[in-house]
Amino acid sequence: MGWQKTTQVVIGAQFGDEGKGRLIDYYAAQVGPEGLVIRFNGGAQAGHTVVTSAGVRHVFSHVGSGAFVGAATFLSRFFVSNPILFLREIEILAGKGVKPTVYVDPQSPVTTPYDMMLNQIIERERERGAGRHGSCGLGFGETIERNLTPDYAVTVADLADQSQLADKLDAIRRDYAPVRLARLGFADAVSHHAHLLLSDSILERFIEDARRFLQLTTMADIGRATAGRALLFEGAQGLLLDQDRGFFPHVTRSNTGLRNVLTLAQELALSQLDVTYVTRPYATRHGAGPLPHELPEKPYPGIIDTTNIPNDWQGVLRFGWLDLDVLRQAIAGDLAEAAHRQGFVIKPRLAVTCVDQVGDEKIMYGQDKVLRHARLSGFITALTKAVGLDAHLFGFDLTPVATIPCAASLDESM
């Protein structure tokens, strides 16, 4: 397994929920405590599920999905830190006997309680009007928006001075929040939610959360954090939610593919990246927005998903048949990003998770604007031909089922 000591990159090829956490855990197990999981996009809205052989289960949010096997975490400047939810995750992990090592870039943007409030207020108001955007309600996009204005920007480095932090938080709640809501057409919401926006106890509690966040992490630039480590880049969301290539406007405020990875890899003088694009054999989507070949219910009776439970912000997990043309275009577009960067060798492959959940069912998929169906072997042949990558198949627990080379000759009986 020559890839064990190389730099691994795991990217979702769909709308998220593909099984990225399981892949990171699988790769991290090969290097153990030498590993460092780099979060290169997204924030606390990530939900990457890992289950150990002993049955211990955790949905990773801030902490990298290699923590069960001892890998450390680095929250890069492209990751949005949320001290409130970070502390909650650390407490949950402590109850499972895990005390992760977490490094954080001082430039990492920070979500405040006011970003979460704005996010949830806006989503509720939109529900009454034109419909929701599909947000998680955790303030990720609002954090990105606020940090575009220097006077109201908050990074991890800003958390160290509590007095200045308090002044900035006060300015955000009194000056920025009303203007932001008014700009979006929800000016009346300011008075309706004044008891939250102007609560001194909420402000003071966040300053304490920020202090504890700094205690439980190590502020470090990427060079210091990665020194002597085996690197694993863990993506959040998926290629079809990329802010530049997804189904606008129902996208995330983030680049979900190779763009941020390549920037960080260049800073680290890395020369080769082994990239795994992950998909299920069917499509899923959380929240609003297009979903090709959408179905009214789960496509196969064996599908079990205990992570994506219905919630107030994104509703239920949606299902559809996998569209091979959409998948091919998403991956090809992402790899084209690397083609414009000099000095990198990219070795891509495809991982198909949850194949145990389709059982002996014929797998439906879209291709050339036609719905087709095949047994697993025929489906994988069509998939690898369409995408042009070798496929590695995994059950839900990431036990390898088979390794299928791209040129494999398999039974394509329908």
What distance in Å separates the CA atoms of residue 269 and residue 283, rounded to the nearest whole number?
A: 36
Helices 162-171 and 200-216 cross at an angle (nearest 10°) of: 140
DSSP at 311 = B
Are 50 and 58 in contact, with CB atoms under 8 Å apart? yes
What distance in Å separates the CA atoms of residue 295 and residue 310, rounded to the nearest whole number?
A: 17
DSSP at 5 = G
**Around Cβ 325, how many Cβ atoms within 10 Å?**
15
- Give, in order, the Cα–Cα distances in Å from 284 to each of 238, 295, 311: 11, 10, 16
* Burial class, 296, CB count within 10 angstroms (exposed 0-12 / middle 13-18 / buried 19+): exposed
DSSP at 209 = H
Beta bridge partners of 295: 319
DSSP string for 384-396: HHHH-S-EEEE-T
Active site residues: 17, 48
Query: What letter represents residue 203's amino acid?
Result: L
Query: What letter represents residue 410's amino acid?
Result: L
DSSP string for 339-398: HTSTT-EEEEEEEE--GGGTTTPPEEEEETTEEEEE-HHHHHHHHHHHH-S-EEEE-TT-
